Every structure is written in C-alpha cells, then in structure tokens.
Structure 1
Amino acid sequence: MTKDAREGRLPVVTLVPNLVTMLGLCFGLTSIRFTFTEQFQLAAGLLILAALVDGLDGLLARRLNAASPFGAELDSLSDFVCFGVAPALLVYNFGLEGLAGMGWLAALFFAICCCLRLARFNVAAKDETSASGKSFTGVPAPAGAMLGIFPVTLWLSGLVDPREAQILIAIWMLAVGGMMIARFNTVSLKAMKVSRDNAVYVLLAAAVIIGMMLTRIWTFHVCATVIYLSLLAWGVFSKRT
C-alpha cells in the first residue's frame, strides 16, 4: 500500500475526468440560463459544446486509470441535465409555448425518456453480460439532445422557421424521446476502430467537419442530423431484411 493510499489521498490527476464532467454540466446549466433570456443561439451552442465534452471525460478516465463509481454517477447526472432538461426547456421556450399544455407535455416526455435511457444504460453497464460496448440500445442521450434541438438549429441556419407549425415541433420531440427508449441497436462511435491505412482519410474528414463547425455550425448541425437519421433508418431496416 502506498503512502497516499494509507493517508486517504488521491493524485490530483485522478480528478481531471470529474472536472471535465463538471465543465460539461456548467455548459448545460448555462444553456438553461440563456434559454430563459431567449438567447437561443448561445443556448444551442452550449449544448453542442456539452455533447463534445461528454465523450472526453470517459476517455480521460480510461487513459489516466481514474475511472470510479463516483465519476460514473456524476457523469450520468450531468448527462440528464445537459441532454434531458436543457434541450427540453430550450425547445419549449423556442417553439412549444404556443401549444400550452400539449407543448409542455412534449417537453416533459422528452426529458423523462432521456432519464429512462440513462438509467437503462447505467444498469446495462453494471451487467457485464449485457454491455458489449459495441452498441447502444436506443439513441444515446447526447445524440438524442442533438436531435431534439433540430428545430432550433433549423431556424438558426436560416433554412426554415419551424415555429410556424408548432404541432410538428411537439411531434418531433415525442418521436426523439421515443427513439431514446426504443429497443433497437445503434452503433457506438466510441467503440469504432480505424485501420492504419484509413487513418489519414479519417483525419482529413475530421478537419473538414471541424472547419464546417467553426464557419457554418448551424448548417452543419442540420446536415449532421439528417445524416444521422439516415444511418439510424438504414441500420434498423437492414437488420430486418
């Protein structure tokens, strides 16, 4: 037993993943603040930042050998705020208030589905026989949040203002919530591997994506959402045939 272990101390580096998780949580909470002031561009942008940060804490925990039950629970709670509560409030304030009770029910349904999705993932992660690490059951919470704010980014991109048909926004939120708790497998990007021969092409693609995000982030988000939905549909129907 080391001296630090005997004294109940931990190396500072083991706190880094939890600090990253709390950074993502700050993004989510600040997004809620800007939602209340109807600064939808900042609110949506912070949620995208939270989604980008989300995968970083787990990666750091594995690389630094700092994974812990506390970190896993903190990450799950942060995900519920960032990808359940914040998107629901953003979309409600943006384009569901006009529907009164029905709009609020759609936002509630989305947030509750995210909570159920995270709870199911936590249970599966603790069950070594069910967690293969290669796929998710249902749309992951961060992806669900990015799908959920699609009406907002459609408006921010200048393509269309979905608030002219608020009932469609409510149906969209119900559909995305259903996808998060549905029983179908989606590929985990964290588990995907790239061969050395294709590494250069992947880096070039990443550079193009980063460039688009920095210059036309809202148009990029709209395109990425359409592509993701297409991949989901292809994956589901290809397994049925």
Structure 2
Amino acid sequence: MTDEGPRLGPKAAEDEFPQSRAGGRGLTLRAVLPNAITAAALCSGLTGIRFAIGGEWKLAIFAIILAGLLDGIDGRIARLLKAQSRFGAELDSLADSLSFGMAPALIIYLWTLQDLPSIGWFAALAFAICCALRLARFNAQIDVDEQPHKSAGFLTGIPAPVGAGLAFLPFYLWMATGNEMFRDPLANAIWIVAIAVLMISNLATLSWGLIRPHRSLRLAFIALVGMLFAALLLEPWWSLVAICVLYLGLMPYAAWRYIRFRQQRGERMAANPAP
C-alpha cells in the first residue's frame, strides 16, 4: 500500500486499491467522457421513476439495468484515460445513490408497496437509506489502509447495483410467470428490507477481481457470456431470475472462501513470525 491518496474518478471500484490523487484544477478534457457516462447513468435511473409513475414497469426496470451497465463502464473508462478526479468520485456516488437506492425504492413502492402505505413506505425508505449508507461507508473508508475484505479481493456487503438488481427479483418472477403472488406487498416489503440489510452488512462477497478463469477455460467462458447475452434477449425475465439466484447461491461460498483465506493467512503468519 502506498502513502499516496485514493484512486478517484467514476468510480474507484470497491475491489481496487488506491493509487493516485488527481489534481484539483477542474476537469480535464479527457475527463468529460467518463463523467458524461456517469451523468447518463443518473438520468437513466431517474427516468426509471418516470416510467414507473406511468405504469410502464418493463421500461422502468430496463432503465435501472441500463444505469447499472453504464455504472460498470464509467470508472473503467476513466482509468483507461487516466481521467480520475474528485469531482468524478463524488458524482458517481451521488448517481449510485439515486439510481440504485432511491429509484428502485420508488419503483417497487409504486408497483406493489403502496398497497401497504405505512409499512410499504418504511420498507422503501429502508432500502434507499441503506444504499446511501453503504456508499457513505465506502467513501469514508477510501483512505483507510487496512480493509480486510478488500485486501483479500472481496467486497463488504452487496454492492449497490447488485442490491438494486436483487430487489427486483419478485418483479422478474411476476413478469416470467404472471403469478400475482409475487406482487404481494408484504412479501416484497420483507424482501427489500432483507436486501437493504445485506447491502450494509459486513459479509464478505465476491468481487469481479476474483473471476479469473483458468487459461484452458477462457474460450468456454467467452462462449458462456455469449450464451448469457442470447438468453437475456430471448428470455430476459427468467435469465434475470437465474442471475439473481446464482448470485445469492454464491454468497455462502464467498463467506466460506473468505474464512479459509483468513485461516491460511493466519497459518502463514504463525509459520513465519515477524522479526
């Protein structure tokens, strides 16, 4: 770990180590593109609310998914262009809070939770607040050298975009099956509160950095990604259900793998004590 400031920009990913601090002289020309993508992600998330107000549920969900895709590339483009900035970091956190906290909470409230006005609204508030708290925790720890989960390549809790995607799982099932059971307001209230708790939890979760297929499996991995893309085009709702179930199923594995990592690190330290 260096003694330099944190890596900034849209966004310093949760599974990355700090590197350098961009200057404070305003945005450079090459910083315009990644920040424009962040702004587009923000607009996409907020437009999802507009679609939900009009009862256009499919478009509302697709707007949040698009925001998630844009959020996944803005930081990578910023790092590719070496255009990280404090402005970009702050804009990205604001965009994430609105697109993956407030927007999903309002969409789910309009879709089902409004049938339980008090309980439903408190559940929506819990989700939005927990998303904001998660992002605040990340920003507060960006300068902290010792982060056990991050140093091992894990994340702490469920990332905000993933939390938003998981919160819509009952909606995916409702669209896939047409069964009104999945629109039950009480069940949905309990579900999004559970996801909210997971977002601010201290559970170790998998990061993209841990996905490193063996050289012999890389062609198969590319084929799998292509098939997943085709499945999303042909059966979007069932595909989204499968992705959510897979992620939830991997959470116990991530916790076990982190425990094993800590045990192995403890054994190495015991075998090679510091002088």
TM-score between the two structures when normalised by the length of structure 1 = 0.90
Q: Is the 8 A contact 1:30 1:43 kept in 2?
A: yes
| Residues 193 and 35 of structure 1, relative CA distance in 2, 3 Å threshold | same
Q: What is the 5 A alignment of 1:52-71? A: 52-71=69-88
Partner of 1:229: 248
- Amino acid paired to 1:176: I
Partner of 1:92: 109
Q: Distance in 2 between matches of 1:58 and 1:85?
A: 21
Q: 2:164 aligns with which of 140, 145, 153?
A: 145
CA contact (8 A) 1:154 1:162 kept: no
Distance in structure 2 (CA, Å) of the matches to 1:142 and 1:73: 17
Separation in structure 2 between the aligned mates of residue 201 and residue 240 of structure 1, nearest angstrom: 29
**In the TM superposition, what is the alpha-carbon distance from 1:215 to its structure 2 partner?**
1.7
Matched, 1:173 2:165: no
Residues of 2 paired with 1:164 and 1:54: CA distance?
28
- Which residue type is aligned with residue 13 of structure 1? R
Residue ranges of structure 2 left out of the alignment (5+ in a row): 1-24, 261-275
- The answer on whether the counterparts of 1:91 and 1:151 sit within 8 Å (CA) in structure 2 is no
8 A Cα contact 1:14 1:61, kept in partner = yes
Percent identical pairs in the alignment equals 38
What is residue 214 of structure 1 aligned with on the other side? 233
* Counterparts in 2 of 1:16 and 1:190: CA distance versus 1, 3 Å: farther
Tell me the secondary structure at the aligned position of residue 155 of structure 2: strand
Structure 1 regions of 5+ residues with no counterpart?
1-7
Aligned partner of 1:118 among 135, 144, 156 = 135
**Bigger shift: residues 105-114 or 158-167:** 158-167
- Residues 32, 9 of structure 1: CA spacing in aligned structure 2 closer, same or farther, 3 A cutoff? closer
CA shift, 1:105, in A, is 0.3
1:1-241 correspondence to structure 2 within 5 Å: 12-130=29-147, 131-132=150-151, 134-158=153-177, 160-162=179-181, 165-190=184-209, 192-236=211-255
Q: Go from structure 1 to structure 2 and tell me whether the alpha carbon gap of 1:163 and 1:60 turns closer, same or farther (over 3 Å shift).
A: same
Shift of 1:194: 3.7
Q: Is the 8 A contact 2:28 2:83 kept in 1?
A: no
Task: Judge conservation of contact 2:171–2:182 (CA < 8 Å) in 1.
Answer: no
Q: May I ask how many residue pairs the two structures share in their alignment? A: 234
- AA matched with 1:81: L
Matches of 2:108 and 2:211 in 1, distance apart?
A: 31
C-alpha contact (below 8 Å) 2:171/2:183 kept by paired residues: no
- Which AA in structure 2 matches 1:120? R
Give 3-state SS (helix, strand or coil) of 1:127's partner: coil
User: Could you say what secondary structure the match of 1:229 adopts?
Assistant: helix
Distance 1:196 1:36 in 2: 48
Residues of 2 paired with 1:203 and 1:122: CA distance? 34
